[in-house]
Amino acid sequence: MTANIIETKELKNDPVFGQISFDGHEQIVFCNDEDTGLKAIIGIHNTVLGPALGGTRMWTYETEWHALNDVLRLSRGMTYKSAITGLNLGGGKAVIIGDAKTQKNDDLMRRFGQFVDSLSGKYITAEDVGMETRDMDVIREVTPHVTGISESKGGAGNPSPITAYGVYMGMKAAAKYQFGTDNLDGKKILVQGVGHVGETLVKHVTDEGAKVIINDINEARLEELSKKYGANVVLGNDIYGLDVDIYAPCALGATINDDTIHQLQAKVVAGAANNQLADEIKHGRLLKEKGIAYAPDFLINAGGIINVYAELEGYGKDEITRKTENIYNTTLDIFNLSEKEDITTHRAAFNIAQNRIDTRKKEQNK
User: 276-308 pLDDT, tens per residue?
Assistant: 999 999 999 999 999 999 999 999 999 999 999
Mean pLDDT of 143-167: 92
Q: What's the rounded Cα separation, in Å, for the pair 100 and 298?
A: 25
Q: What's the rounded Cα separation, in Å, for the pair 111 and 128?
A: 18
pLDDT-based confidence at 13, cuts 50/70/90?
Answer: low
With 0-12 / 13-18 / 19 or more C-beta atoms within 10 angstroms meaning exposed / middle / buried, residue 321 is middle
First vs last C-alpha separation in the chain: 47
Q: What's the rounded Cα separation, in Å, for the pair 324 and 334?
A: 16
pLDDT, averaged across the chain: 94
pLDDT for 231 beyond 70: yes
Q: What's the rounded Cα separation, in Å, for the pair 82 and 93?
A: 13
Report pLDDT for 158: 85
pTM for the full predicted model: 0.89
Residue percentage of the chain with pLDDT more than 70: 96
Closest to 359 in 3D by CA, of 47, 45, 49, 26 = 49
User: Would you name the residues annotated as active-site residues?
Assistant: 93
Mean pLDDT of 3-9: 46
Per the model's pLDDT, the better-predicted residue between 134 and 8 turns out to be 134
pLDDT-based confidence at 253, cuts 50/70/90?
Answer: confident
**pLDDT, tens digit, 9 for 90 and up, residues 162-177:** 999 999 999 999 999 9
Residue percentage of the chain with pLDDT more than 90: 88
Q: Which of 2-6, 191-195, 217-221, 287-291 has the lowest mean pLDDT?
A: 2-6
Q: What's the rounded Cα separation, in Å, for the pair 94 and 33?
A: 15
pLDDT for 260 beyond 90: yes
